[in-house]
A and B are shown apart, each in its own frame.
Chain A
Amino acid sequence: MDDFTWRVGGPQGGGIETAATLFARAVGKGGWWVATKREYHSNIMGRHSYLDVRLGRKPVQAFREKVDFLVALDGETLARHLGEVREGGVLLYDPKVLDLTVHKLPMLDHRVAEDLSRRFGKADPGLKDLLQAYVEAGVQPLPYPFEEVADRIGAELGVPSLQARRTLNTIAVAASLHLLGYPLEPLLEALALQFKGKVLELNREVAEAVYKEEVPRLSFQLRLNGYEPGRVYLTGAQAAALGKLAGGLRFQTYYPISPATDESVYLEAHTAFQGADVAVVQTEDEIAAVTMAIGAALTGARAATATSGPGFSLMTEGLGFAGMIEAPLVVTLYQRGGPSTGLPTRTEQGDLMFAIRGGHGEYPRLVLASGDIQDAFLDAQKALAWAWRYQTVVVHLLDKFLASMAQSLPKEALEVLRLDGEKRALPRGEGFAPYERYAPSEDGLSPFVPLGTPGGVYWMTSDEHDPVGHITEDPVLREVEMEKRMRKLQTAREEIPLADQYTLYRDGEVLVLGFGTVKGTLLEALDHLEGVGYLHLRLLWPFPEIAPLLEGKTLVTVEHNYSGQLADLVQQETLKRVHHRVVKYNGRPITLDEAVEALKAVKAGRAPERLVLRKGV
């Protein structure tokens, strides 16, 4: 078996997150490359959540439409994921849920319950009916009484039921791996990564007890894949945080918001770790987050903030301020479903145009987007370096999918880039002639002098200003300063290596264009397609000069938003028509299968101009 996806679903707060991490580490310890996708509600506990762990013989960063193995820790999972297990796949469920009916699942969306009612021609189908439907779809159901097993093992070990049931996640993982014929040893190693002390001991004993049980042999088995040390397993938010530290971040501000908070919380937990020395301040709102980061940057500190759509909306006045006073500022923008509060915990790429254009007036800014976890780490460093090089706003785009996705990768993939290029003036010693901070220059860059530099007194103002920073409304000075600022965009376009602007992974008569987290899915899709190429855009603004690459191609964009914002941008910047827009905006990431199917349709000439992908639960 080369390609395998294990899914665990259950109520939020019930340990399914721990279960997925445990499973990923257990197969990782057996030498498999893994990636984990997380879907959850904006809720603390009780609402449905699920995670997919996909493994492969090479690094994985795309997810399948159907899974091979579904662990349903509750009845709701059975109802929601009907049709999501492949033919020949396995469903591991607790038989006690079979007494329930669809309308007795309190957290199930009415829409899903109604669909099931229609499908089964009953007012209130029972979960027994659903189970039958799984069987008819060729899925092998395996009843497994998770809580009973916990109680029994607990009794054997002399542990109270309440405590034993806290190991349900370990039981679910152990039962799955045992059924798959996977050895116990890597699971024990994974447990040791996850737990400590008495909790570890108990979970270890529980796993061993599960492995002693007789289980049916499945038609497919999971073997070891040859463990190699030197791999890491981390999320996109953690990679971005680490990348910021590697890029010299010394000051981070944030206001709590899903899904951006994970990054700042990671930094908060590691402020004093191994020389990180990063101050993290939780502010009263995103307006304060952005302006406080700007204030810190003015002193010479590498400063940044992280947010999601609603917070970015509040930050736009701060972005313009940074653009106007030429403050180096990084905003890490974790996109989520919009507009307004939208889908707080679901993915989208709906802020592309907003990141490029948001705010009143015109000022230079750079926008880059990360496609995967390695990118998130490297791009965070580039974002900081570019903010300081060009003394302006750099928006680093990620999204919820990437923020919460975890992936194993070789440690070497997390390379410290040691980028430089800051243009700073040296202190000039004594004297009181104001410093010409905004002196015009050919490349638009004027040497930066941090607040507190001896002899370098000058002013900064959000008003239009003269070279020393005093307010002016003079038409000539306005032109001089506006042109100086905007020249930085051209300088950036010329200086930034092409490899950091875009990557043509493969050329083809059908050329797919994408940015951000469609990358992993599209790269794997190429393996299943002929005559289809992929051009991945890394720098979205200033927009790279890609027009020559598009000549004579059938152009397709693939993106997570409604209107096809990338398509609009490509057309605007290259004057080339995008022939097909593949879009998805239901908050769920595009699967490998969806991408392959859509692009096959394009290749075969049977795709409409606009193709909406609608899969996912």
Chain B
Amino acid sequence: MVELKLADYKAEKQPDWCPGCGDYGILSALQMALFELKRDPSQTVVFSGIGCSAKTPHYLNVYGVHTLHGRVLPTAQGAKLANPHLTVVAVGGDGDGLGIGAGHFVAAGRRNVDLLYILYDNEVYGLTKGQAGPTLGLGEKTKSLPKPNPQGRLNPLLLAFSAGYTWIARGYAYDVKGLKELIKEGIGHRGLAFLHVLQPCPTYNDLHTKEWFAPRLYKLQDEGYDPHVPPGLTPEELDKKMAHFQEKALEWGERIPVGVFWKAEVPTFEERLKAYLPRYPEVYPALGQREALDLEGLLQEFAL
């Protein structure tokens, strides 16, 4: 492959996001991460759901699949399992992933397919003009809402943890450099990685703006937080890790942590598949036509 430049990862298509949208920062970080990791664009697929953030794949010069509202994770998992050699990144908004797609979000955690899921969290449904998203707090009223939000806030990190995501991190859309590093680590993680990105929506969310976030964010790793969960911990050590994770995942308000919260080593779904597909992943579904199927052998159990 010829040496690629950063610009080669950018598609010709111009983003149609609002000026100042956090999506720009995430797009840049993703483009830089893929470039720095030297991922072959033809072996890389970015999947997305539906919404503003879901237009991301169209602006990257890698294979892009813009799926259905809430269905990005099952589609992405299908592709990754069928061709485990692909680098797969799934992206979508908070409504997409934790509203309509919540069931898939949870089920994906139980599988641990080797891919990175980036959740763009601006607390609102932007493309339909600012309705409350699943991460907007109870009683909060953005300027786009006629009344305060009567539904409670879902904590993406805790949900990802209970579902079984093996790498859990949070980043900030305007910290492109920090985000890029998190994306690189998430892509490199063996298993299902979840990156929660705090992202102001300058058009509809006047509560959690750039100005609101700036003084509150701090980096977990600057305070010596260790997310790594090595195998073989005693139950007591694991309890301690989990308590620490929970404390940080719940921290919201005056101080908001970003960085890697959890990093565990758990067999991937691909490895689990091997139990009944001994030739996987060497022989994987995308290879197409198999060698001759022994129908005669299969029919033996039905012989009369």
Contact = CB atoms under 8 A, between A and B. Distances in A.
B295 interface: yes
A278 B106 CA distance: 25
Contacts of A589: none
Contacts of B299: 232, 242, 411, 414
A251 B283 contact: no
A349 to B, nearest CB: 26
* A278, A292, A416 interface centre (most CB from chain B within 10 Å): A292
Given A242-B295, A251-B82, A274-B298, A299 B42 contact: no
Given A284-B106, A457-B62, A272 B276 contact: yes
A554 interface: no
A28 B304 contact: yes
B230 to A, nearest CB: 29
A452 B43 contact: yes
Interface in A480-525: none
Contacts of B78: 251, 253, 281, 291-298, 303
A325 B74 CA distance: 16
A462 B103 contact: no
Contacts of B291: 275
A276 B298 contact: yes
Interface string A245-272: 1101011010000000000000010111
A479 interface: no
A234 B80 CA distance: 34
A430 B2 contact: yes
Contacts, number: 228
B104 interface: yes
B83 A301 contact: yes
B150 to A, nearest CB: 27
A424 B294 CA distance: 27
Contact of A234 (B8, B79, B82, B302): B302
Contact of B1 (A246, A291, A430, A456): A430
B293 A299 contact: no
B53 interface: no
A245 B304 contact: no
B290 interface: yes
Interface in B1-47: 1-2, 8, 11-13, 40-43, 45, 47
Interface in B71-94: 71, 73-83, 85-86
B297 interface: yes
A292 B103 CA distance: 14
A246 B78 CA distance: 21
B64 A295 contact: no
Contacts of A279: 81-82, 273, 277, 280, 285
Contact of A246 (B82, B277, B295, B303): B295
Contacts of A294: 75, 78
Contacts of B74: 283-284, 287-289, 291-292, 295
A317 interface: yes
B214 interface: no
Nearest to B298: A274
A contact patch SS: mixed
A29 B66 contact: no
A573 interface: no
A296 B82 contact: yes
A430 B55 CA distance: 26
Contacts of B276: 268, 271-272
Nearest to A279: B285
A460 interface: yes
Contact of B286 (A25, A234, A293, A300): A300
Contacts of A278: 285
B66 A451 contact: no
B144 interface: no
Contact of B298 (A273, A450, A469): A273
A430 B40 CA distance: 11
Nearest to B297: A274
B50 interface: yes
Contact of B83 (A318, A451, A463): A451
For chain A, which range describes its interface: under 10, 10 to 19, 20 to 34, or 35 or more residues? 35 or more
A221 to B, nearest CB: 22
B63 interface: yes
A278 B82 CA distance: 10
A213 B208 CA distance: 87
B286 A301 contact: yes
Given A451-B65, A463-B66, A301 B288 contact: yes
Given A251-B81, A463-B66, A295 B75 contact: yes
A453 interface: yes
Contacts of A271: 276-277
A293 B75 CA distance: 7
Residue of A246, A289, A297, A462 contacting most chain B CB atoms (<10 Å): A462
A335 interface: no
A25 B104 contact: no
Contact of A452 (B57, B86, B106): B86
A452 B42 contact: yes
Given A458-B63, A460-B66, A416 B104 contact: no
Interface in B126-175: none
B202 to A, nearest CB: 22
Contacts of B81: 251, 279, 281, 292, 296
A375 to B, nearest CB: 17
A276 B276 CA distance: 11
A245 B298 contact: yes
B61 interface: yes
A172 B276 CA distance: 38
Nearest to B294: A274
Which of A281, A296, A432, A459 gathers the greatest number of chain B CB atoms within 10 Å? A459
Interface of A: 25, 28-29, 193, 231-234, 238, 242, 245-246, 248, 250-251, 253, 268, 270-279, 281, 283-285, 287-289, 291-303, 317-318, 321, 325, 408, 411, 414, 416, 430, 432, 434, 450-463, 469-471
Given A275-B294, A457-B62, 17 more contacts: A250-B82, A270-B298, A271-B277, A272-B276, A275-B293, A284-B107, A288-B107, A294-B78, A299-B286, A300-B288, A302-B285, A414-B295, A451-B83, A452-B85, A458-B63, A460-B66, A463-B66
